[in-house]
Amino acid sequence: MLFGRPSGSAGSAPAGRRNLTARLDPSERVFRAIARAGGAVVLVLMGLVGTFLAYRAWEALRKAGLSFITTQDWNPNGGGFGIAAIIVGTILIGLIAVAVAVPLALGTALYISEYAPRQFQRGLITLIDLMAAVPSVVYGLWGAFLLQWHVVSVSRWINNWFGWIPIFKVDDVTRHAVQPTATFYTSSSFIAGLVVGLMITPIASSIMREAFSQAPVGEREGALALGATRWGMIRSVVLPFGRGAMIGGTMLGLGRALGETIAVVMIISPVFHIQPYILEHGTSSVSSLIALQYLEATPFAVSALMAAGLALFALTLLVNFIAAHFVTRSRSGALSEI
Amino acid sequence: MAVLPFPSAGQPGGTESGAGAGARTTSTRLGRSEAPARPPSPRRLSGARLADVLAVGGAGAAALATTGVLWTEIGPFSGIVGYVIVSWILFVLIYAFLVSLDENRPTMRDRVAATVVHSLAFVVLVSLAFIIVYTFFRGFKALVHLNFYAKDMHTTGPLDPLTKGGLLHALVGTLIELAIAVGVAVPLGLLAAVFLHEVPGRFSRFVRTVVQAMTALPDILAGLFIYATLILIFGLQLSGLAAACALAVTIMPIICRAADVVLRLVPGGLTEASYALGSGQWRTVMYVTLPTARSGLATAVILGAARAIGETSPVLLTAGATNYLNFDPLHGPMMSLPLLAYTLVANPEPNYITRGFGAAAVLLVLVLVLFSIMRAIGGRGPGQLTGRQRRRRLAESRRDLDRITQQTAIEQAADSAAQAGSPSRWLLPSSWLPGRRP
């Protein structure tokens, strides 16, 4: 017996339980107190933001009641206001962004971890990190001044040939009309979603790449030794290993896309009815609504904006927790935590 | 013995087996007497074969030509983006067909997958290049004038040429706001990360959950929070300080979470060794955990700073916009680069739009500078050292070795002196001498 033998009382029965907690030095206690205080300050600050938003939003929510969810219009100073239209617009832009970002992020992550020559890998990783750090106003400028005018022709083409699918419909434009003007197709959710999709691609991509590069070497070599091609190896080892990170990275990107403000403001033109047609001019999102309306807002209108913001926050929070769940529960996530 | 196509020279097996069984000697001799057949040139295991190159080139040419015919002769198509998309799809299809002519199905799938992966990565990198180059291209006319960096906008009207006015006020404002935001958020964020890592328990788990939740906070809500509290309730002006507070609220959870992840990567063996040597928690954190994670922590801080520098929406609500140079973060509105770019391009005047792109380009340069700093000091895993650090460690351990050998020499001298009975034991405390207790 090595441990737990009470010293000094050999032979006799141990008197009472031995005290196992360490007595800390004063310096240790000060350190712990400072660390705890730091944690508490951060907790209080963050908690303050959440509770204050909820408190101020409550005012508007109480007045609007259930109509807050069903109303499409936004007139807090008289008449009804509600998030039905703007939350639908937000989610649509987020979904388009994810639909754009997932293939791009997956391709980039696979390229960096599996195909790129070794000596370029670090440089490529830095480039992707840089892409994540490019300010959103720059993406917005690019989207509004360059991409928009090139995408219009694609929008028109999709509308012409697939206009019979409801979401690709554009009002007031008949099929193969004699070159409808470009303004029918600008400022749409599709273009905003494209730009936001490019913004979230590096975020999703770096999470996926990290998981892919951790796929066990033994399993990779096993697959190759059994005669798999490189793609066969990726499909049977790398992708199943990184499945959790793929879902998690996508959700994290979705969370970012839902909250994106400036790039969306610079592209869309706001409308306040539910806009399910993604190619059509005009849509709206929660954060762009806040950015456009806070200045002329009365105190009650600010509270209404906060209610909208709170709904958005709830949405992004849900998405982020789902993402965290998938990232940590997956095999890849479990390995990355030491 | 089966006749091998390439009898390996110098292997004694042939002659020995020949000596053992007489009947087989002839066949072995026969093999050896013939001039060894030259091995065919070794099979190439890497690089592209001619057929591969031809398949790629042919598919590319066919796709471009077909799309060209579609665009100019047949379809009601137009636009460069559509052209690229359609020719890419055609390229993949034709390439798959060409490969399937002389390879089997799995190889064909492998080639197609490689093509798709390469082109997706290419699209991402090209978009990044386009975004950066386009910003500089549109802003170039403003960037070449020196007054762009030395003047503010307060005397510049909408029709003034680019030789008047500049972004000095926004540059100063960005740097002041960044300094305050980083000065508030970094110490708090790092301290909280150390707390999460070092004082585990129910409370720290709760803090971690809250911090994780707050990373999901849309950035505009941070601005709205500061706008509604500091400005509407406490009566602070629209000012640099308010904007910096909004930025700090935005980046603090990001820095804290990134630092928490980095601290968790510090090898447990290092901290345990430190505890085993008798140092307390404070010393372990100060001398082992933080230095080991230094480059990762620097990355976390700079990622936070890059985020803060580029955020527009919190600043939009809290800083106010001005055309005047303002050094005082407490009073009066303060401009920042992203906000300047955003407000300038909202104006239809072409010169304003050019200046807006110029501001965005300067902002990009700042982000690039931050990134190269990060590349220089960070980006290494915990415990990985630069060349200079490694040399320093080596010198330290040499000094340690010298010290220990000297110590041992003294010890031995004292030992032998004690054996000889001379009273030189005072050189060392008695407990240091092994096996010499009275």
- For residues A156 and A140, give the distance between their C-alpha atoms in angstroms, rounded to a whole number: 22
- For residues B307 and B317, give the distance between their C-alpha atoms in angstroms, rounded to a whole number: 17
Quick check: B305 and B371 in contact, CB under 8 A? no
Q: What is the mean pLDDT of residues A12-36?
A: 78
Q: Is A25 on the interface with B (CB under 8 A)?
A: yes
Domain A64-336 CATH superfamily: MetI-like (1.10.3720.10)
- What is the predicted pLDDT for the residue at B76? 63
Domain B168-383 adopts which CATH fold?
MetI-like fold (1.10.3720)
- What is the predicted pLDDT for the residue at B88? 92
User: Torsion angle of alpha carbons B326, B328, B333, B336, nearest 10°?
Assistant: 60
- What is the predicted pLDDT for the residue at B38? 67
Q: Long-range CB contacts (< 8 A, 24+ apart) of A45-49?
A: A45/B188, A45/B249, A45/B252, A46/B210, A46/B211, A46/B213, A46/B214, A46/B252, A46/B253, A47/B210, A49/B214, A49/B217, A49/B221, A49/B222, A49/B225, A49/B249
When the pLDDT of each residue in chain B is averaged and rounded to a whole number, the result is 81
| Domain chopping of chain B, boundaries | 50-140, 168-383
Let me know how long chain A is: 338
- For residues B315 and A262, give the distance between their C-alpha atoms in angstroms, rounded to a whole number: 11
Could you tell me which of A2, A201, A207 has the C-alpha nearest to residue A104?
Answer: A201
Over residues B52-84, the pLDDT tens digits come to 888 889 999 999 998 888 877 776 666 777 788
Query: A262 and B338: CB-CB below 8 Å?
Result: yes
Residue B191 Cα, gap to closest chain A Cα (Å): 6
Q: What is the CA radius of gyration of chain A?
A: 27
Query: B342 and A266: CB-CB below 8 Å?
Result: yes
Over residues B292-316, the pLDDT tens digits come to 888 888 888 888 888 888 888 888 8
**Which residues of chain B have a CB within 8 Å of the CB of A229?**
106-107, 109-110
- What is the predicted pLDDT for the residue at B32? 52
Tokens of B8: 């390996």
Query: A259 and B124: CB-CB below 8 Å?
Result: no
Q: What is the mean pLDDT of residues A25-30?
A: 84
Does the pLDDT of residue A179 top 70, yes or no? no
Does the pLDDT of residue B423 top 70, yes or no? no
Which of B81, B218, B371 shows the shortest C-beta gap to A133?
B371
- For residues A153 and B85, give the distance between their C-alpha atoms in angstroms, rounded to a whole number: 12
Where does residue A22 fall: left (phi above 0), alpha (psi -120 to 50 degrees), or beta otherwise?
beta
Contacts of A93 (CB under 8 A, 6+ apart): A189, A192, A193, A196, A257, A258, A264, A283, A285
Over residues A212-234, the pLDDT tens digits come to 888 889 999 999 999 999 999 99
- pLDDT > 70 fraction of chain A, expressed in percent and rounded: 89
Does the pLDDT of residue B113 top 90, yes or no? yes
The 3-state secondary structure of A221-251 reads HHHHHCCCCHHHHHHHHHHHHCHHHHHHHHH
- What is the predicted pLDDT for the residue at B399? 92
What global pTM score does this model have? Answer: 0.80
Task: With cut-offs at 50, 70 and 90, classify the pLDDT of residue A4.
Answer: very low
- For residues A223 and B116, give the distance between their C-alpha atoms in angstroms, rounded to a whole number: 21
Which of A141, A157, A202 shows the shortest C-beta gap to B82?
A157
Q: What's phi and psi for B329, nearest 5 deg? A: -70, -15
Q: What is the CA radius of gyration of chain B?
A: 36
Q: What is the mean pLDDT of residues B234-245?
A: 88
| Domain chopping of chain A, boundaries | 64-336
Residue B227 Cα, gap to closest chain A Cα (Å): 9
**Which residues of chain B have a CB within 8 Å of the CB of A150?**
79-81
Which 3 state secondary structure label does DSSP give A18? coil
Task: Name residue B107's amino acid.
Answer: T
Scan for tokens 């002041």, then name that residue: B176
Quick check: B323 and B286 in contact, CB under 8 A? no
Query: B360 and A137: CB-CB below 8 Å?
Result: yes
Of B31 and B219, the structure prediction assigns the larger pLDDT to B219
Q: Is A290 on the interface with B (CB under 8 A)?
A: yes
Residue B18 Cα, gap to closest chain A Cα (Å): 37
Could you tell me which of B363, B385, B219, B220 has the C-alpha nearest to residue A134?
Answer: B363
Residue A167 Cα, gap to closest chain B Cα (Å): 20
Quick check: B168 and B322 in contact, CB under 8 A? no
Task: With cut-offs at 50, 70 and 90, classify the pLDDT of residue A6.
Answer: very low
- What is the predicted pLDDT for the residue at A172? 65
Which 3 state secondary structure label does DSSP give A81? strand
Over residues A55-107, the pLDDT tens digits come to 888 888 888 888 888 888 888 877 778 888 889 999 999 999 999 999 999 99
**Which residues of chain B have a CB within 8 Å of the CB of A159?**
none
